[in-house]
Amino acid sequence: MFVGTVKEIKNHEYRVGLTPESAHELVAHGHTVLVETGAGAGIGAADEAYVAAGAQIVGTAAEVFARADMVVKVKEPQAVERAMLREGQILYTYLHLAPDPEQTADLVKSGAVCIAYETVTDATGGLPLLKPMSQVAGRMAIQAGATALEKAHGGRGVLLGGVPGVLPAKVAVIGGGVVGFNAAQMAAGLGADVTIIDRSPEVLERLATHFESRAKTLYAGKANIAAAVAEADLVIGAVLVPGAAAPKLVTREMLSTMKPGAVLVDVAIDQGGCFETSHATTHAEPTYVVDGVVHYCVANMPGGVARTSTYALNNVTLPHALAIANLGWKAALARNVHLANGLNVAFGKVTYEAVANDLGYAYTPAADLIG
């Protein structure tokens, strides 16, 4: 199979779909790897490293799209990239379609076979291809929030961990999954006063056992969320409904109860955000202020630590890429129901139910196309 990767063109996105090491693995299995020149520059991987791995360097993204049977990316294809997709071509990347009707329409029109990292599952019900980026984003959320809390960045001028004689900042983490756990770990490690909010008694029990006295847990009722948000210096939105738009758990009305200069970090922005006042921002202009509250809503947070993120991502995406390349997409998905759960769009059909429901498409089960 001809497998290609291109330079990401989303604002301040420095990750790359294939590392030189991943390219080497694909070549070792008999495949041809096409890499757009400069694709790995953001992680410090020069074209020469890909050539040494057996890949071919090509001059443009257009050539990669034209020649590749499968295109491996990181972020969702931008409009100019979507226009280059063709029927039956495999696109393997993060998609986050539920809050993005324009992208969905273009992918449906293209006829491409679109496999989304974020909806591939595992035997435990987890999302293994989303997990490493959720770990990165959760940890980065505290770094970003701590910076945004500084007075020079519009925040309250509060140090997360405080100092002797001065209380630490109050951090509310909404969602106790992978993002929330990692955010809470970082915040607690810095000495903040951390409360983790979730609706699952099992999750709350697990978090309480892990953190003991280093973080508090709270059931995610509306009144509890409102009270925690009002008291917090920093709120982390870490809520995920797999494949679907995120629920709006912090309303515009709640902002009026918050401290001036408090900070909201919406890690769920890829799925539309879990704060009513959220809209996607970039690493170039990461924050904005609504009603005196600083919002950080960067849609590709892990791109800011591109090298760490790329290697963490390739660790989990490469085995499936190899399966697809070795077997073809139909056989690979037929053999692995968890990989089949990643199929979101194929041959003009929407094959992921949550996306179909959110955007008003007829739902076609993936099994109908896999055969």
Q: Which residues are catalytic?
A: 96, 270
How far is Cα 17 from Cα 42, in angstroms, rounded to an integer?
11
Instruction: Count each helix (H run) and each strand (E run) in the chain, helices first.
Output: 15, 15
Assess contact for 36 and 58: CB atoms under 8 A.
Answer: yes
Cβ within 8 Å of residue 275, ≥6 positions away: 237, 248, 249, 250, 264, 266, 295, 297
Q: Return d(Cα 350, Cα 105) in angstroms, integer.
A: 10
3: left (phi over 0), alpha (psi -120 to 50) or beta: beta
CA 302 to chain centre: 8
Q: How does strand 216-219 pair with strand 234-237?
A: unpaired
In this structure, the chain runs to a length of 371
DSSP β-ladder status, 56-58 and 32-36? parallel
Cα end-to-end distance, the chain, whole Å: 21
Give 38's DSSP letter. Answer: T
Closest Cα to residue 136, out of 353, 305, 19, 282?
A: 305
Q: Which of 272, 295, 293, 214 is nearest to 98 (CA)?
A: 272
